[in-house]
Structure 1
Amino acid sequence: MRGRHTGGTVAGGGGGGNGADAIRLEAVRKVYGTGRAAVAALDGVTAVFPPGGFTAVMGPSGSGKSTFLHCAAGLDRPTEGRVLLGGVDLGQLSETALTTLRRDRVGFVFQAFNLMSALDVRDNITLPLRLAGRRPDGEWLTRIVSRVGLADRLGHRPAELSGGQQQRVAIARALVTRPAVVFADEPTGALDATTAHEVLGLLRGVVDGLGQTVVMVTHDPVAASYADRVLFLAGGRLVDELRAPTAEAISHRMRGLRGGAEPVGVARC
């Protein structure tokens, strides 16, 4: 049985450390277009993510999952409401300060691995630090390389790796700055079932073993079942959540969303 983290940061991890929520969304609304063409991709979403938890975000196509991730990660600014990362109100930051905060405090893992083909594994992992003009912490680098199982691949280039190994590089790269949160957007979408299982187990492991906070957008109930909880979006609203979810329970709830659902209150791990 997969372990479930109950919240709180494990010593040595990348989870918040100062007692603040890893992420907090307060009545977030995101509108695209104007006038009659305006569309509310998010419509008053409030959710809390304490440090050291694993949350999956699901919903039908067009439910607002991608917009949720973009606003929570500071990639897009909400039309209304607030997003706080480690207690910092992202709406109060300049674009330069926001870029710096994302680089230092947020990790990203995408369906496409987004590795630099000319760089070996070590240099791909440490690229965010090099861009920031910082030296890697040797002890931390060794720890995360060991955690993702790449100690014998550091000199290889992406073309010499399997898809699963490339995604492991992407996860290590996301962890190297000791971020407050790692956002994963369909991280297993390009992988076969066996490799996806390995990558999801790895994400589960960095939560349980390193105290990392992970927020994953996925369409796959099996992938979502690795999380501590699942948040469900429909029509830009938060409509339900499941704790200690199973793939069967998630699938059942997703089928129910096709018939419509009422919003719920604050989602809190």
Structure 2
Amino acid sequence: MTLDDWLVAVDDVVRLESLSKTYGSGRNTLTALRDVSLSLRAGSFTAVMGPSGSGKSTLLQCAAGLDRPSGGRVVIAGTDLTGLDETALTLLRRDRIGFVFQAFNLLPALTAEQNVALPLRLAGRRPSPSQVATVLAEVGLGDRGRHRPAELSGGQQQRVAIARALVTKPAVLFADEPTGALDTGTSRDVLALLRGLVDRHGQTIVMVTHDPVAAANADRVVFLADGALAGELVRPDAEAIAARMTRMEVAAC
């Protein structure tokens, strides 16, 4: 079985409808998201950017089912998350959503193979060696399966984290600053890997980043300001993204 066999897509893999998120109440109310509507098609690579405090991470957490919005709807691969109880939401996250964080979050006592297999084991499924080997080979670590995290570089550890997210065959892969802890060269390699997953296998990826160079790997860059959508760029270069961010940051001062 190849990775292509695992990636099942529908036209709009992610759909956000009038999404809002507030914290607190009364005078202490903080609005993190304001009426955000956004559709992301299958096989697309979308970067989410904005000034500090613009709502990027909140958007990602609500879209991935890690946090519940205060209003609006989130639909993932045709499933409306709004009415799901915690058990159903956990099952959906486990089976249909992949998440990669800036911190690699690997278990140090486990090998790369064991870290990758962990989501399946936690779901009560027995991962086949070929299944684990396929995703490790896809991220360029076919010969590192028996190594523990301490024996791997930072970039290799992030690749293991990506393989772990892919092994569940997710409809969408969310990435929160996936290159934030990496040097420039290693970041370039990880971004090329993510781009390749989109181009070769039709994986849908949504990535929050502050880096215009990282965002330039995406098909589409969506900008947030004060919790609301503030425009987008399609297939932009790093210079165009940096210029837009500069204008937004000046406007926020």
Does 2:222 correspond to 1:231?
yes
Displacement, 1:146?
1.3
Within-5 A mapping of 1:113-262: 113-260=104-251
Q: TM-score, normalised by structure 2?
A: 0.95
Q: 1:13 to 1:242 in 2, by over 3 A?
A: farther
Q: 1:140 to 1:208 in 2, by over 3 A?
A: farther
- Say which of 29, 41, 53 aligns to 2:44: 53
In structure 2, distance between residues paired with 1:33 and 1:242: 33
Unaligned runs of at least 5 residues, structure 1: 1-9, 262-269
Q: TM-score, normalised by structure 1?
A: 0.90
Displacement, 1:260?
4.0
Does 2:72 correspond to 1:65?
no
Displacement, 1:12?
2.5
In structure 2, distance between residues paired with 1:232 and 1:130: 37
How many residues in Structure 1 have an aligned counterpart in Structure 2? Answer: 250
Displacement, 1:253?
0.5
In structure 1, distance between residues paired with 2:168 and 2:58: 24
Q: 1:15 to 1:233 in 2, by over 3 A?
A: farther
In structure 2, distance between residues paired with 1:234 and 1:203: 26
- Say which of 2, 8, 26 aligns to 1:35: 26
Give the match for residue 14 of structure 2: 23
Displacement, 1:40?
1.0
Give the match for residue 103 of structure 1: 94
In structure 2, distance between residues paired with 1:73 and 1:33: 22
In structure 1, distance between residues paired with 2:119 and 2:201: 20
In structure 2, distance between residues paired with 1:252 and 1:211: 30
Give the match for residue 7 of structure 2: 14
In structure 1, distance between residues paired with 2:96 and 2:130: 19
In structure 1, distance between residues paired with 2:48 and 2:120: 29
